[in-house]
Amino acid sequence: MIFIEEKLSEISSLPVYYEDIVRQDDGSINLKSTSIVYNIEGSYKVADIKIRRDIPIIIDVWYLKKDIFSVEDLIDKIDNEFSEEVIFVDGNVYKVFRDTVFYSNVPEQDENIGRKRLRYTIRNYRN
pLDDT at 117 (0 to 100): 94
Does residue 19 come out as left (phi exceeding 0), alpha (psi in the -120 to 50 range) or beta?
Answer: left
pLDDT at 42 (0 to 100): 67
CB 36 within 8 A of CB 14: yes
**CATH numbers and ranges of domains, the chain:** 2-125 (3.30.2000.10)
What global pTM score does this model have?
0.84
pLDDT in tens, 38-71: 998 766 555 556 667 888 899 999 999 999 899 9
Helix (H) or strand (E) run with residue 104 in it: strand 92-105
Output phi, psi for 114, to 5 deg.
Answer: -120, 160
Below-50 pLDDT ranges, the chain = none
pLDDT at 62 (0 to 100): 93
pLDDT at 26 (0 to 100): 80
